[in-house]
Amino acid sequence: MREHPLDLSYTTKHLWVRADDEETVATVGITQDLVDDVQDISAIDLPMVEDELEMDTYCVHLHLQNRIHHLRAPVTGRVLEINKDVLDTPYLLHVEPYEHWLYKMEIDDTEEFHLLMSCKQYVKFLDSL
């Protein structure tokens, strides 16, 4: 069975989210399950710094060999920073997806953060697929 970091929250679309202690800033990345599913990520389109994202709206596009995989924002908020390393070298996500994040955002509504799955809930979700 695959290991998933216990300190992260997860979405049903295989994103991970790490909130700071005050739950005001979220770091967002993709899970190993998504990396395994999409296989070869050749390029990534990320939101721009200062973009306002609404929960469940498309904000990241993974360019794969023959298609584009669209990802939705896990919570509502404003983009504070993007990870230029993964823009330049998308393969980093294949090497260690839990270390290489996509973007950081200011969380507008902490209640949305509490709608995300814990590690235990995410594993149970994966088992139900």
Residue 97 domain flag = yes
pLDDT digits (tens, 9 = 90+) for 44-87: 999 999 999 999 999 999 999 889 999 999 999 999 999 999 99
Percent of the chain with pLDDT over 90: 87
Residue 106 domain flag = yes
Residue 90 domain flag = yes
Given this model, what pLDDT does residue 108 score?
94
Given this model, what pLDDT does residue 89 score?
95
Given this model, what pLDDT does residue 22 score?
87
Given this model, what pLDDT does residue 92 score?
95
CB of 53 closer than 8 Å to CB of 73: yes
CATH code: domain of residue 103? 2.40.50.100
Residue 2 domain flag = no
Domains contained in the chain, number: 1
- Residue at 124: amino acid letter: K
Assessment of whether the complete model's pTM goes beyond 0.75: yes
3-state secondary structure (DSSP) of residue 128:
helix
Residue 39 domain flag = yes
Strands (E), 8-119: 9-10, 15-19, 25-30, 43-45, 52-53, 58-63, 68-72, 77-82, 103-107
pLDDT digits (tens, 9 = 90+) for 113-127: 999 999 999 999 999
Residue 49 domain flag = yes
Given this model, what pLDDT does residue 117 score?
97
What are the C-alpha distances in Å from 61 to residues 7, 95, 115, 124? 25, 19, 23, 27
d(CA 44, CA 64): 9
Residue 1 domain flag = no
pLDDT digits (tens, 9 = 90+) for 32-46: 999 999 988 999 999
* Domain around 21: 9-121
Residue 102 domain flag = yes
